[in-house]
Structure 1
Amino acid sequence: MPNEDVEIKSGSRFLPHIALQVFNTPLMISPQKLDVIVRVLGERIGLEGGEIQASEMAKARAPVTTGRVEIAVIPIIGSLVHRRAGMEALSGLRSYEGIREDFHRAEGDSKVDAILLDIDSHGGSSAGIFDLGDEIHNSKKPVYAYVNEMAYSAGYLLASSAKQVFLPRTGGVGSIGVRMVHVDQSEFNKKMGVKVTNLFVGERKVDFDPHSPLSKEAQESAMKELKDIYGLFADTAARNRGLNVQTVKGTEAACYMGQHAVDIGLADKVMNFDEVIDFIVEDVRTAGKTTSTARGARNKEVESAMFKTLAEFKTENPEMFTQFRMEVERDLRASFDAKQQGFEAQISGLKGELQERDKMIKDQDARILKLEKTDYIRAEQEKKVRIDAAVDRVWTKALAACDVPEEMHERVRKCVPSASFIKEGALDEAAYQAAVHAEIAEWEGMGMTTNILGTGFAGGKSGEDLNVEAKTEKKLAEEDDAWVSNMLKLGGQKKEEGGDE
């Protein structure tokens, strides 16, 4: 039979409190888990659905004692919330208050040599998580984290606060991101025949009201808060793991399993639970042995004043010297490996930044080249406009003052192309004006004037125009012949009939 004390029906008094911890508040939880919670609660907003069977309350296990090393195991299982309100036995919730109490109890117990966080959580609320993470990170006792299959989002922030993070081959970590959900149940209310009227003072008082759609202002406010919390999350995880913050943000809230999590720097080693216990025992023993040996050696040196130089110490205590050297080398190797991992992560982050910067530079160069082409084309177009305006200005003034019939103006203009008068992108107006006047004078000298041709003259190529043009050419030819004959007479010669000039 299920325990009646921990059984909750769909109309339970705890549901509103649970909903407040899920909706309209920043959450550090994996999308899959949040979708399950929203689906379960959504069915119960209208007092429908079945019942939720509660899980057992997560309690701190009895300390694990192995070879005189006592390890306090603190379970962090289920969805994480800031405060407990009689709900830790419900829906698999675990509060930061409860975790803090267990942690302080283990820290204050002189018999406890190390603390192990046993984590299996999709994450949860962002409220209260960062202060708890700082307490774990700054603990005077060695704290280890074992990802007992899942440490996502808020669960991973707690795991990263430990000295080292271990996980099994199928264990997953990551989801370093922040999310918020707003449920608009206005349509549900309509279907149920419920009308909600908000009476309020202050324009933003009903932001995130579940009985109406989310406003643009409320959405912008929520996004700003999410970005601030995300920055704090990334900075904290980077500090805890010795990673570059850009490397952490570069995960884009992805989840990593097993060795992949180790490779990217979010975990230290793939181990099962028993192997982790053995590792902690050896780590604590080594640390205690190193401290004890060093303290004994210092006391002996002070009391007896026997070892004044390292050479004397090595000669008179070869075994102790060898032990010292091995311990120092081991510590240096461990420190070097940790720093190397940190450097590799930083290098990876810097490579990503350089690639992004190179892409930005290439894009910028392409935009600059396009702008340069556009500017060049615009400049050439402006030059042409200026030249055309200058040409029109010269012709307008010259033709207005001449006696060439207006019908012939366009044909006269074609006789003086402007291209040969353009120098360095500008029209040589003086030279062009002289050429234009010379051309007009030549036409006028050939009789192409209004006084001679009359105002009815047209410059087209109709039959009458061609006839007039032929007569004009004949007249000019006769005048030329007369001039040639006069020249020949002056020279004592005669022009032959039908011959050339």
Structure 2
Amino acid sequence: MTHYPQIASQLFNRPLLAHRGTLEQYARAMAPRIFGGSVTFGGEWQAGLIGEPVRDAVDFEGNPSYTGPRMIGKSGVAVIEVEGALVPKGKWIGAMCDATSYEGIHAQVGDCRSNKDIRGVILEVDSFGGAVSGAFSCADAIHQLAQEKPVLAILTEHACSAAYLIASAATGSVIPKTGLAGSVGVIMLHVDYSKAMDKAGVNITPIFSGARKNDYSPYEALGDEVYKKAVAEADTVRDMFIDAVAGYRKGRITADALRKTEAETFMGADAVKVGLVDEVGDPIAAANAFISEIGRKAA
């Protein structure tokens, strides 16, 4: 039985750029790793960012787990996949958890910028979002890449919350008719075990120094003052989210329009009408058209 306190620290009592509908799935997938259970997981022991150690990461069989952006033949187009739950670091959580790390995306963006043979990039996005930590710097890196090479975000169905933040940084975006985009907002989770502890006959007495040290304790109900503090933090992150998207999509959607969505998600044509994405299209057809366009420019 293995516990993952780093994962727990990202999931609870912190703002999440995640769609409400994915929180239950996210928590259910992580629960055995966080609270203990019959889970085994090998490799990926380092959890640092400096020096991009993700490039040297190996899977539980000792094979390299970082392979760089996926190339589409000799088209000059690379694909960066943004799928599943989005997490800050990729060496202590990975494909086994249906997740993509901002760390891994960063490394792939760096490869796309430095590789002269890559003339265009497709972001394949299918995610309901995830952690705040690392999301904004990841989106900024993609936006920088988009200043140097065409970047097309193709939704292969969903780009919500943090995933939408990342998609919005691309040069352009395509959504299928049934796809969802948006959820430009912030949500937080707090777990209160106090009644469960009472039922079990367990009394936990926190001993601490510093009035705010015990904020968000899972062994007592969330007080009004702490709740207000949490809402204020969520509002701050939401403002950052709105400002970032409005900057990336300048001329296509304003900060005021984004705020008025109230973190709603929009399907297909409605997402285009609001200004969240650029056009409705079939993902495969959109990719083929992009590849052809990159080929024409290279000719």
TM-score by length of 2: 0.83
Secondary structure of 1:138's counterpart equals: helix
Q: Name the count of aligned residue pairs.
A: 274
Q: 1:278 is matched with which residue: 288, 292, 299?
A: 288
Q: What is the alpha-carbon distance in structure 2 between the residues aligned to residue 74 and residue 156 of structure 1?
A: 15
Partners of 1:248 and 1:190 lie apart in 2 by 44
Partner SS for 1:115: strand
In structure 1, distance between residues paired with 2:267 and 2:224: 38
Q: Which protein has the larger Cα radius of gyration, Structure 1 or Structure 2?
A: 1
Q: Which residue of structure 1 aligns with residue 278 of structure 2?
A: 268
- Residues 88, 133 of structure 2: 8 Å contact kept: yes
Distance in 2 of aligned mates of 1:126 and 1:266: 20
Matches within 5 A, 1:434-473: none
1:147-206 Cα shifts (integer Å, max 9, x gaps): 111110000000000000112222111111001111111112222333222111001100
What SS does the aligned partner of 2:231 have?
Answer: helix
On the 8 A contact 2:153/2:170 being kept in 1, the answer is: yes
Which structure: greater strand fraction?
Answer: 2
Q: Which residue of 2 aligns with 1:305?
A: none
Are 1:60 and 1:75, in contact at CA under 8 Å, matched by a contact in 2?
no
User: Which of residues 118, 137, 142 in structure 2 aligns to 1:136?
Assistant: 142
**CA offsets 1:304-340 (integer angstroms, 9 cap, x no match):** xxxxxxxxxxxxxxxxxxxxxxxxxxxxxxxxxxxxx
Partner residue, 1:240: 248
Spell out, residue by residue over 1:447-487, the C-alpha distance to the aligned partner (whole angstroms, 9 max, x if none).
xxxxxxxxxxxxxxxxxxxxxxxxxxxxxxxxxxxxxxxxx
Q: 1:60 to 1:30 in 2, by over 3 A?
A: farther
For 2:11 and 2:264, the matched residues in 1 are separated by 21
- Alpha-carbon distance change, 43 to 239 in structure 1, aligned in 2, over 3 angstroms: same
Q: Which whole-Å CA distance do the structure 2 matches of 1:237 and 1:145 have between them?
A: 14
**Quick one: distance in 1 between partners of 2:189 and 2:246?**
26
Structure 1: how far apart are the matches of 2:207 and 2:78? 52
Task: Report deviation, 1:127.
Answer: 1.2
The within-5 A match list for 1:13-92 is: 13-14=3-4, 16-39=5-28, 47=36, 60=68, 62-65=70-73, 69-92=75-98
Distance 2:242 2:215 in 1: 28
| More displaced 10-residue stretch of structure 1: 233-242 or 39-48 | 39-48
8 Å Cα contact 2:84-2:126 kept in structure 1:
yes
Structure with more contact order per residue of length (Cα contacts < 8 Å, sep ≥ 6)? 2
Instruction: Please list, as runs of the form range in 1=range in 2, the aligned pairs for 1:362-373 lying within 5 A after superposition.
Output: none
Q: Percent identity?
A: 32
Query: How far apart, CA to CA, are the structure 2 residues paired with 1:41 and 1:197?
Result: 27
Superposed displacement of residue 18, structure 1? 2.1
8 Å CA contact retained: 2:78, 2:122: yes
191, 195, 201: which is aligned to 1:187?
Answer: 195
Report the RMSD for the aligned CA atoms in angstroms. Answer: 2.5
Distance in 1 separating the partners of 2:27 and 2:204? 22
Could you give the per-residue CA deviations for residues 419-471 of structure 1, whole angstroms, max 9, x where no partner exists? xxxxxxxxxxxxxxxxxxxxxxxxxxxxxxxxxxxxxxxxxxxxxxxxxxxxx
Map 1:151-230 to 2 at 5 A: 151-230=159-238
8 Å CA contact 1:58, 1:94 repeated in 2:
no
Amino acid at match of 2:10: Q
Q: What SS does structure 2 have at the residue aligned with 1:112? A: coil
Question: Per-residue deviation at 1:216?
Answer: 2.1
Local SS of the residue matching 1:135: helix
